[in-house]
A and B are shown apart, each in its own frame.
Chain A
Amino acid sequence: MPEVTRVVLAEDGVLLREGLVGVLSRFGFAVVAAVGDGDALLEAVAEHRPDLVITDIRMPPDHTDEGLRAAVTLRREQPGLAVVVLSQYVQEEYASALLDTGDGLRVGYLLKDRVVDVEDFVAALRTVLGGGTVVDPEVVRRLLRRPRDPLAALSAREREVLGLLAEGHSNSAIAARLFVTEAAVGKHVGNILAKLDLPPAEDTNRRVLAVLAFLRS
């Protein structure tokens, strides 16, 4: 990660865009471009080569999923580009479309509600920049409630742990939340990976793969 993170921001609401620029500046990000629609986003990224793209999903001219389409296009062209999309409402299909780009790493799908908890939002951005995947807890909650085969094998506790994993928490953070030891969390994670048929390997991103397995199935 470079010393100063260069950000391109796309959001059609002027007030919110200014607010986000304020938040990002305050936490040491450099907003090199702030635009209002999908096409302008693609142009700005081509011009500024940012480290991070943050985009609203619903933007002009059609007010449907312009931002998401732009994000998917960007990820296809530069699979390693960190992209966080903001959505006004939970839409699993959008989350899946985004996670299916590249290897599913360095992406984030967040509800706009999360933005207003400034510190959590910035933490999520840093997780994505650091190579992680952040999916909004609301999406994760829905997915975990949905009955499907791989999940049926998991215990309630394991689902809980997987949910927190998907939100980008570390083992120690999960242990703190669930009031258990870190070793216990490690054991749960091991069980989850085993039940999801993700054998131990050199790859350190098995945790993320576990989350993706759910989102994609």
Chain B
Amino acid sequence: MSTQQAPWNARYLLTSGPWRALLYVLTTWPLAGLAGAAVGSLILPWLAAGLRLNDGRLLDGPLLFLMVTALLMFAVLGPLVAIPLAAVERGRLGLIDQRPVRSAHRSVAPEVLTWLRVRFTEAATWREVLYAIFLGLIVPLVYGAYGLLVLIDIGAILSPIFAVSGTDQWTFGVFTVNTFAQAIPLAIGGILLIPVLFHLLGFIATGQAATARVLLGDRDGTALHEVAQSRARLADAFEAERRRIERDLHDGAQHRLTSLTLQLGMARLDVPEDSPAAAPLAQAHDEAKELMVVLRELIHGIRPQSLADLGLPAALRELAARSPLPVTITVADGVQRPAPHVEGTAYFVASEALANVVKHSAAARADLLIAETAGMLVLEVRDDGQGGADPALGTGLTGLADRVAAVGGRVLLASPAGGPTLIRAELPCRR
């Protein structure tokens, strides 16, 4: 809902707000009527019992039977009615409140028994039942009172006509209307009351919508949890795809290129040095060799072999060996091998962080630490450089954070001007 369309806004009547509220309230009627009839018929035996006890009489067998039956029907049928009703209400909420409201129901296999078991044990279901009771008991009372106000106002506005025709006499407390002249102020008051009634209608509709949002929406963040899960699945799928590409390149292209280069090497042995073919052949052989190096680096960039074969510490030692800076690696006790996508992300973080150290920090050395605390794999890269790393200045650090966020972790950075810089990545490792 935009603020202009809120009933407490002075310009409310100039917006579509009142009409939306009117539509919402009018469409509530049939639903509230149904809910009221259902709830009413079920609490009827209990009302009767309350009256009897009030009169000092005792409850008899048939009434007790009806009370218990009503209670059972409520427990069994209540959710079955409330769940579709809630779905309709969530859809109808869009009439006056544009913010999306998500069902708090967990997704469940389309199998009847499983569905019933999950639904009857979910808090979301019983909040929807509570909403059905609200719709059946409270809403009719409020609407009834409002309807009475509207009727009185219509009467007041039409009172001059009634006065002329002499059909009626109006009494408001001590104020009695008998003649046309007396009815005029009443009619003016009635007309002035119309905007107030519209605002009131807005408040009623907003109140009902707010109640619906609280009771029918996703308060516990169940839906958010599912989003996080699908993000992890996506990260897994990416990781699998990377490995497939890496394996295809390795088992296909790399082998064939090595074989080709070997054939060229063999051919060089057969071609005399003074032959016109010798120079081009030598060049072809050399280029094929260079291509082998390029391809190997490419595959290494996709996913280092040592990471897949030997795990994170070995891959990090290899990474450190390639770095132009001296890098010490410390692996704390008790670090277990994490899931492949976490391992890949940790390696990526280390690789990016070390590349940043080399490129930007003017550091003389770097330290890399891996530890595991409370189900988190912690990776720290520390350098003795000039500091001042700022995520706003480049995409490197934000890319790093994105990659870590994709596996549900986070990146922390301390980099005061003058140094030193410390990057810490925390990655949840699933067991």
Q: Do A and B bind each other?
A: yes
* A interface residues with partner B (beta carbon < 8 Å): 12-13, 15-16, 18-20, 22-23, 26, 58, 63-65, 88-93, 112-113, 115-119, 142, 145-147
6 new A-B contacts at CB < 8 Å, known A89-B300, A91-B314, A142-B322: A15-B255, A19-B262, A23-B266, A89-B296, A116-B288, A116-B289
How far, in angstroms, from A92 to B322 measured CA to CA in the complex? 12
B265 touches A118 (CB 8 A): yes
A88 touches B305 (CB 8 A): yes
A116 touches B326 (CB 8 A): no
A115 touches B269 (CB 8 A): no
Tell me, yes or no, whether B274 is within 8 Å of chain A by CB.
Answer: no
A118 touches B262 (CB 8 A): yes
Q: Which residues of A contact B376 (CB under 8 A)?
A: none
Segment with Cβ contacts to A, from B49-57, B151-159, B246-254: B246-254
Tell me, yes or no, whether B321 is within 8 Å of chain A by CB.
Answer: yes
Q: Which of B262, B288, B310, B317 contacts A23 (CB 8 A)?
A: B262
B255 touches A147 (CB 8 A): no
B262 touches A116 (CB 8 A): yes
How far, in angstroms, from A23 to B306 measured CA to CA in the complex? 29
How far, in angstroms, from A112 to B266 measured CA to CA in the complex? 15
Q: Which residues of B contact A117 (CB under 8 A)?
A: 265, 289
B266 touches A26 (CB 8 A): yes
- B295 nearest CB neighbor, chain A only: A88
Known: A13-B259, A116-B288, A116-B289. A91 touches B305 (CB 8 A): yes
How far, in angstroms, from A119 to B292 measured CA to CA in the complex? 18
B326 touches A147 (CB 8 A): yes
Q: Which 9 A-B pairs give the minimum distances between C-beta atoms?
A: A13-B255, A15-B259, A116-B261, A19-B262, A16-B259, A118-B265, A116-B265, A64-B309, A116-B262
B262 touches A16 (CB 8 A): yes
Chain B nearest CB: distance from A58 CB in Å? Answer: 8
Q: How many pairs, one residue from A and one from B, have CB atoms within 8 Å of each other in the complex?
A: 85
Q: Which residues of B contact A23 (CB under 8 A)?
A: 262, 265-266
Tell me, yes or no, whether B293 is within 8 Å of chain A by CB.
Answer: yes
How far, in angstroms, from A56 to B300 measured CA to CA in the complex? 18
B256 touches A15 (CB 8 A): yes
Known: A19-B259, A115-B258. A91 touches B306 (CB 8 A): yes
Most buried by A among B247, B285, B308, B321: B321
Q: Which residues of A contact B306 (CB under 8 A)?
A: 89, 91, 93
A-B contact pairs, 17 of them (CB 8 A): A13-B259, A15-B256, A16-B255, A16-B262, A19-B263, A23-B266, A88-B296, A91-B309, A92-B321, A112-B292, A113-B258, A113-B289, A116-B262, A116-B264, A116-B292, A118-B266, A118-B268
Tell me, yes or no, whether B318 is within 8 Å of chain A by CB.
Answer: yes
How far, in angstroms, from A88 to B288 measured CA to CA in the complex? 15
A113 touches B293 (CB 8 A): yes
Q: Which residues of A contact B269 (CB under 8 A)?
A: 26, 118-119
Chain A nearest CB: distance from B172 CB in Å? Answer: 92
Q: Which residues of A contact B247 (CB under 8 A)?
A: 63
Known: A15-B259, A63-B247, A116-B289. A22 touches B266 (CB 8 A): yes
How far, in angstroms, from A143 to B322 measured CA to CA in the complex? 11
Q: Which of B262, B305, B314, B321 contacts A20 (CB 8 A)?
A: B262
How far, in angstroms, from A23 to B289 measured CA to CA in the complex? 17
Chain B nearest CB: distance from A144 CB in Å? Answer: 11
B309 touches A16 (CB 8 A): no
Q: Which residues of A contact B265 (CB under 8 A)?
A: 23, 116-118
How far, in angstroms, from A23 to B255 measured CA to CA in the complex? 16
- B306 nearest CB neighbor, chain A only: A91
How far, in angstroms, from A175 to B430 measured CA to CA in the complex? 56
How far, in angstroms, from A96 to B262 measured CA to CA in the complex? 27
Q: Which residues of A contact B326 (CB under 8 A)?
A: 147
B278-304 CB mask vs A (1 if < 8 Å, else 0) is 000000010011001100100010000
- B322 nearest CB neighbor, chain A only: A142
- A91 nearest CB neighbor, chain B only: B306
Q: Which of B250, B264, B308 contacts A88 (CB 8 A)?
A: B250
- A62 nearest CB neighbor, chain B only: B309
Q: Which residues of B contact A115 (CB under 8 A)?
A: 258, 262
Q: Which residues of B contact A90 (CB under 8 A)?
A: 318
How far, in angstroms, from A64 to B318 measured CA to CA in the complex? 17
How far, in angstroms, from A13 to B147 measured CA to CA in the complex? 85
B258 touches A116 (CB 8 A): yes
How far, in angstroms, from A90 to B310 measured CA to CA in the complex? 13
B318 touches A92 (CB 8 A): yes
How far, in angstroms, from A23 to B259 measured CA to CA in the complex? 11
Q: Which of B227-280 contact A (CB under 8 A)?
A: 247, 250-251, 254-256, 258-259, 261-266, 268-269
A113 touches B292 (CB 8 A): yes
Q: Which residues of A contact B285 (CB under 8 A)?
A: 116
How far, in angstroms, from A145 to B320 measured CA to CA in the complex? 11
How far, in angstroms, from A120 to B321 measured CA to CA in the complex? 26
Chain B nearest CB: distance from A183 CB in Å? Answer: 34
Known: A116-B261, A118-B269. A65 touches B309 (CB 8 A): yes
How far, in angstroms, from A90 to B300 measured CA to CA in the complex? 11
Chain A nearest CB: distance from B173 CB in Å? Answer: 93
How far, in angstroms, from A204 to B36 measured CA to CA in the complex? 103
Q: Which residues of A contact B261 (CB under 8 A)?
A: 116
Q: Which of B19-41 contact A (CB under 8 A)?
A: none
Most buried by A among B251, B259, B293: B259
How far, in angstroms, from A119 to B268 measured CA to CA in the complex? 10
B266 touches A19 (CB 8 A): yes
- B255 nearest CB neighbor, chain A only: A13
How far, in angstroms, from A23 to B258 measured CA to CA in the complex? 13
How far, in angstroms, from A16 to B261 measured CA to CA in the complex? 10
Q: Which residues of B contact A65 (CB under 8 A)?
A: 309
How far, in angstroms, from A91 to B321 measured CA to CA in the complex? 11
Q: Which residues of A contact B258 (CB under 8 A)?
A: 13, 16, 112-113, 115-116
Q: Which residues of A contact B314 (CB under 8 A)?
A: 91, 93
